[in-house]
Amino acid sequence: MVENSPQQGAGTGSRVPGKLELFLGFAKIGALGFGGVGPWARHVIVEERKWLSEREYASVLGMGQILPGPNVGNASVMIGRGFHGLTGALLATCGLYIGPLCILIVLSLLYDAYGDLPRVAPFMEGVAAAAAGMVIGMALKMGFNLKAPLQLVAVGLLAMLAAAWLRVPLPLIVVILAPLGIWISLRHARVTQGEKAQGERAKP
């Protein structure tokens, strides 16, 4: 993922973008991310540009989620800094927000002029529904591609249940379920490594 890091030499399939490519990539994410940039960020970073693997992106996004501020915004800082230091962090963040800022200014002017029209409210509701569907689709696609153990899937479902139905505050969900997820992940990694070691010892 980053220059001079273990991930880059680990054969994950990620590659280092140039500074201009980094800026333009995040500018594309910001410009296309109507209703939320999460699905577009994953598409551009993982599938299109192949800057990160699925697991690397999930790790960065998860860290961005538990920090204050927008999760993809936090992730842009970490990804940009990982590739090109402070300059990369600034380029990625500016690229992510410059398009939405310009579009927001224009839309605000239009909404002030035409916001009272009867057809505006249904339009906004339709955009919100489409955005929610994109976020759910991204979450399902990431879950399938990560091939997480069933215990981690259960933790994810508990988090969704707590947030969507029980209205539990997100910081409380993170405080309770994040340590559980970390413990399950570490335990699964130890079991996997033990099985791999046993298999290697069993070879003639």
CA neighbor of 19 nearest in space, from 104, 101, 95, 123: 95
Q: Residue 141: its pLDDT value, please?
A: 67
CA angle 60, 19, 4 (to 5 degrees): 60
Gap between the Cα atoms of 27 and 158, Å rounded: 34
Rounded CA-CA distance 17/30 in Å is 18
Residue by residue, DSSP assigns 111-173 as HHHHTTSTTHHHHHHHHHHHHHHHHHHHHHHHHHHHT--HHHHHHHHHHHHHHHTS---HHHH
Show me where the domains of the chain are located. Answer: 1-147, 149-204
Chain position carrying tokens 């994810």: 156
pTM given for the model: 0.58
d(CA 184, CA 177) in angstroms, rounded, equals: 11
* pLDDT at position 136: 72
pLDDT in the model for residue 10: 30
DSSP 40-74: HHHIIIIIIS--S-HHHHHHHHHHHHHSSS-HHHH
- pLDDT at position 197 is 65
Find tokens 């915004």 and name the residue: 73
The pLDDT of residue 96? 93
- For residue 71, give Cα distances in angstroms to 63, 113, 202: 8, 32, 45
pLDDT at 92: 95
| pLDDT for res 113 | 77
pLDDT at 8: 43
Positive or negative torsion for Cα 182, 179, 85, 58? positive
User: Consecutive 10-residue runs of the chain (204 residues): their mean pLDDT?
Assistant: 38 75 94 77 91 89 82 92 95 92 84 73 71 69 70 83 84 85 82 70 63
Q: Are 173 and 163 in contact (CB under 8 A)?
A: yes
Q: What is the pLDDT at residue 202?
A: 65
